[in-house]
Amino acid sequence: MYKIIGSNVYITRGDSAYITVNIADTDGNKFALDTGHIVRGQMRTEPNNGDLVFDADIDYSNPDKIIWHIKPENTKGIEVKEYYYDLGVDTAEGDVYTFASGKFVVTDEVTY
């Protein structure tokens, strides 16, 4: 099970999630992704250069949204605690845009 409250993600350890993020520029205009972009998603132990916990698969086949696929193996073996994530795009022109960031809270599961 997972839920999103504000920009924070809560997920049961070992569960799957598909989180859709509609992306726009600072004026609210849709941001079109193309093949020259690198879409990234990471979870870390601390918000500023903490240890990398995992890199996430990001689907950007739809040009105006990204889908963050969290697989069971991404959270199955990690400690139940609060982490930090961000999702962003590096453009072919060298610009970097972060579209979502916040806490990523891994909660305990009953069936493990």
Chain centre to alpha carbon of residue 6: 14
State the pTM of this model: 0.86
Query: Residue 28 — φ and ψ, nearest 5°?
Result: 90, 5
Structural domains for the chain: 2-107 (2.60.40.10)
User: Which residues, 6+ apart, have CB-to-CB distance to 62 below 8 Å?
Assistant: none
Q: Count CB-CB contacts under 10 A for residue 67.
A: 15
Give the tens place of pLDDT for each residue, 12-64. Answer: 999 999 999 888 777 888 887 887 888 889 999 998 888 999 988 788 888 77
Is residue 50 within 8 A of residue 78, CB to CB? The reply is no
